[in-house]
Structure 1
């Protein structure tokens, strides 16, 4: 702290050199007007030399503050500087008449104020600067009153009284200023402590989300996967209904989990927007087809109105656009008991004169009161508590959707009439989305999930510490006719990869003995038959920093639990290949 204060004073002294010399020139010039002589010139030259010495002394200390040496030399330099400066005020007091005395008092008071502002935070330096000025201001009137007794004695006495009042006020101001600085320092320390605490709490929140995500996804993987496997078995109507309810409830739980993760990433500024070429009409039609069955169950008609001359291809984040439209349609179906839901896609000019894409989702549902329209876009908020009790939900869908739209350069607005329905409008910049030409890479062919590779059965290494998860994956790949080998932790996987070649490896993340990321790095770095074998991360740790860690380890792809069986099969077929070493054997 003392070093920081000294550095501040030294910088101020070096920076204020020209100002001090300018004031000295003005003071000397005024003295020449009041009483012309050679002495103001001599005084200015002496003061100039003292300031050069002062400047060099503090400039040298700035270059190496830790070796500033004895503090006495800096105190002497400051005291000498102020002593010489106010000597000219003494000259004008003695030789300048009444005007000179008034000027002397004003100039010394100004010098006192200047020194106080510059040196207030180092008491020894402050006294060194104040004492010479104060002595001049006190002794000049006192000595004059002794030497020149008479009618001016009372005036000189009043000057001394005024001097004490001025110095007292100056001392009070310094004390108050120091107290303010102390309060600011305490406040700064408290703010830093609060910031550190907030950062720790944020890190704890992130860690909690990572843990809870993993812990929820792991059992949900078993539930959803078991439901998917049951669908493939012969079931009577009652059993099919039970499995459907099981699947629907599981998907709702996963949706809630994903919403919480999304809002956390957005608030932390870690949500990234991707750009990819998509077929706009196919995407909108696909989202509509997802919600059409639910609408039909409620006897609600779902219509899609897509402008004919829309571009067939656009550049956008398909996942986030689909997520926004999914949320808007979800709300429309949820809050519409009868009538019609219309999804319109068209273009229109915006306020800046550019053309933008507009997606309207209009329903004839319960509607929203005017004073609640903005509230529905706040996290964990719905129009009122009764809505939450009757229809359920976390109130995150619209908040996430608007924030995603804003990250994509657009926005979501709403107009509604209570009891008559609502219309949510998603607008996205058209110029940044238009793709004039889309060319598929040469040799690109889509892989169908039910197309088994022509080279023959392949061998897959399934690495997971949960027996149920290993069993589920084996059942999913069973229709492919593939052979599988199982490992309970990363160390077993590394050992197996030294002796046997695999066509693809499915790797979990958190496992006892050795985790998946460490195991992946060892497999990639060891000389063995699986150094180049595709490794696919299959884990309940689905946050963005987990995916980044997997990518740095060298995985080919990332799949989050619960397992989507179709996505798993497509990924296995697309990523696997006959290992050259295994084929040669």
Structure 2
């Protein structure tokens, strides 16, 4: 019996042999794939949970885990030296720099639940004059702020923590992380600020480790870094970047609506967990989904009926995703041009090139970071005919709550669970209303985005389709930094109408 040994295994087993760089890269790519697969199960499973079904505290914990999983994914890319051409989902970062509002939103999602658990107030805001983008390494910036906010939350038993981005007189940006905790010992500060850039010595304890990590990361970005005890009590870290690193982007084009209503989608995914997560996300986006478990099933399903979009994993048994793409593209008829989006946990350049050469229109990397993000990734690839099959957008003449949706919900879950749902929906709508009102002046687009995002899910859960539509519009305006006073006023009034409906029906 002969034993076949792959070239890489032979290279490893040869006495005294030195593994080639190619072998090392392959192992790192495979390790990255396995790590990303685990993160996909974590973030994908949590993303599939309907936030409207959760109490506020639980929803914040889910957001915290999702944000942490995104950050770990970013660290995996950095540690394993992966090439990634797509924007990194962690903290809203990409290789062209840092979007300040999304960077701050990542920190809000990461730390809100922990601050609430400790009885702390957490304020994270970008002032109106702050630069909107930073042309610096995104991973370094995200890690630096994470260490500083973690330090602030960890040292305060209660009180307040804030992260504020503001403009400097010279046109740069100042990032300030402050807390109301006790003063930091002067000798600790001296050790942190006095160590050389390459000095591994660290004798200031856990608190010093977080601050030291932040200082070193700031130095790698070319930022000025200061730590000080505040005269009125508390402690703060100051990070300043000059004008050359900053820009104020023009209002961005509206992101495609995360709504796949009417779209007929073929999903091919062999992993049961990923399959369940992707299916729930697509159906939450109102798509009609046909699910297959491998490439051979996907080809059979494609031959049996027409689809608007094919979404498929690359690594599948029997027939790979690459071969499915090639089979479809080689048909020689109009259906050969169906849009195809690949799902993959591989991020190496070679894999991206292979997927593109096979004929995929786009690639979405696992783990999928959320329902809205998946919808926005897929929506641009839908053919124009899908819009004609979508239901009409709700208007002023429609009821506050759709009786058919509301009645079906009540029949499905029964009176006891309906009462429990009432409490959650009432609390979430009231909290969103208060957040929107507080964000009016000075205008806080980050808070408006957050509140309207929650409204989209909560309103949809009880059939408040008119409020859901208004929340979508408000969310889009907030992302564009467009005038939104009228939309904000209308959304608040519609929340009041839904709350009045629910109060009457109890």
- Contact 2:60–2:113 (8 Å) recurs in 1: no
- Summarize the Cα distance change of 1:305–1:527 in structure 2 as closer, same or farther, 3 Å threshold: closer
Further displaced range: 491-500 or 512-521: 491-500
Rounded Cα–Cα distance in structure 2 between residues aligned with 1:429 and 1:378: 24
TM (normalized to structure 2)? 0.55
Cα distance in 2 for partners of 1:565, 1:203 equals 32
1:560 matches 2:372: no
Aligned counterpart, 1:438: 250
Instruction: State the 1:359 CA deviation.
Output: 1.6
Does the 8 A contact of 1:376 with 1:399 survive in 2?
A: no
Unaligned ranges ≥5, structure 1:
1-192, 389-394
The CA distance in 1 between the partners of 2:72 and 2:159, in whole Å, is 28
Check the 8 A contact 2:152/2:179 in 1, yes or no. yes
* Residue 298 (structure 2) aligns with: 493
Residue 224 in structure 1 maps to residue 46 in structure 2: yes
CA distance in 2, matches of 1:397, 1:532: 54
Aligned to 2:227: 415
Q: Deviations over 1:198-255 (max 9, x none)?
A: 83674265134324224413532564245x14x454x7x7xx8778767755654564
Aligned residue number for residue 76 of structure 2: 260
**Secondary structure of residue in 1 paired with 2:246:** coil
Change (3 A) 1:531 1:330: farther
Change (3 A) 1:215 1:381: farther
- Pairing of 1:166-185 with structure 2 (within 5 A): none
Alignment partner for residue 25 of structure 2, among 188, 203, 225? Answer: 203
Q: Could you say which structure has the greater relative contact order, defined with CA pairs below 8 angstroms and 6 or more residues apart?
A: 2
Rounded to whole Å, the distance in 2 between the matches of 1:232 and 1:411 is 41
**Residue 458 to residue 364, structure 1, CA distance change in 2 (3 Å):** same
Select the structure of larger CA radius of gyration. Answer: 1
Whether the 8 Å contact between 2:166 and 2:175 is mirrored in structure 1 is yes
Which residue of structure 2 lines up, in the alignment, with residue 337 of structure 1?
Answer: 157
Distance 1:266 1:538 in 2: 17
Query: What secondary structure, in the 3-state scheme, does the structure 1 residue paired with 2:275 have?
Result: helix
Q: Residues 374-407 of structure 1: CA distance to partner in whole angstroms, max 9, x if unpaired? A: 889999998767669xxxxxx899859965984x
1:52-451 alignment runs, 5 A limit: 197=19, 199=21, 202-203=24-25, 206-220=28-42, 223-225=45-47, 228-229=49-50, 231-233=51-53, 248=64, 252=68, 255-265=71-81, 274-275=95-96, 280=100, 282-283=101-102, 286-287=105-106, 289-290=108-109, 291-292=111-112, 294-303=114-123, 309-311=129-131, 313-314=132-133, 316=135, 320=139, 324-348=144-168, 356-365=172-181, 367=184, 369=188, 370-372=190-192, 406=220, 410-411=222-223, 413-415=225-227, 423-435=236-248, 438=250, 444-449=253-258, 451=259
1:5 maps to what in 2? none
1:68-123: per-residue Cα shift (whole Å, max 9, x none)? xxxxxxxxxxxxxxxxxxxxxxxxxxxxxxxxxxxxxxxxxxxxxxxxxxxxxxxx
Are the aligned partners of 1:222 and 1:562 in contact in 2 as well (CA < 8 Å)? yes
Structure 1 partner of 2:281 = 476
User: Relative to 1, partners in 2 of residues 1:284 and 1:386: Cα closer, same or farther, differing over 3 Å?
Assistant: closer
Q: Give the Å deviation of 1:577.
A: 2.1
- Alpha-carbon distance between aligned partners in 2 of 1:480 and 1:208, rounded to the nearest angstrom: 32
Distance 2:352 2:201 in 1: 30
Query: How far has the Cα of 1:510 moved from its partner?
Result: 1.7
Distance in 1 of aligned mates of 2:38 and 2:18? 30
For the residues of structure 2 that align with 1:509 and 1:458, how far apart are their CA atoms?
22
SS in 1 for 2:81: helix
1: distance between equivalents of 2:196 and 2:316?
Answer: 41
What's 1:110 paired with?
none
User: Cα distance, 1:496 vs. partner?
Assistant: 4.0
SS at match of 2:343: strand
1:410 and 1:427 in contact (8 A); partners too? no
Which sections of structure 2, spanning at least 5 residues, go unmatched?
Answer: 1-14, 390-506
Per the TM alignment, residue 459 of structure 1 is displaced from its structure 2 partner at its CA by 0.8
Q: Cα RMSD between the aligned structures?
A: 5.0
1:473 to partner: Cα distance? 2.2
- The answer to whether the 8 Å contact 1:501/1:579 transfers is no
- Rounded to whole Å, the distance in 2 between the matches of 1:480 and 1:309 is 36
In the TM superposition, residue 480 of structure 1 has moved relative to its aligned partner by 4.2
Question: Are the equivalent residues in 2 in contact too, given 1:379–1:396 (CA < 8 A)?
Answer: no
Q: Structure 2 CA distance, aligned partners of 1:421 and 1:525?
A: 66
Pair 1:348–1:472, CA change in 2 (3 A): closer
Q: Distance in 1 between the 2:283 and 2:239 partners?
A: 43
SS in 1 for 2:336: coil
Q: Report how many residues are paired.
A: 359
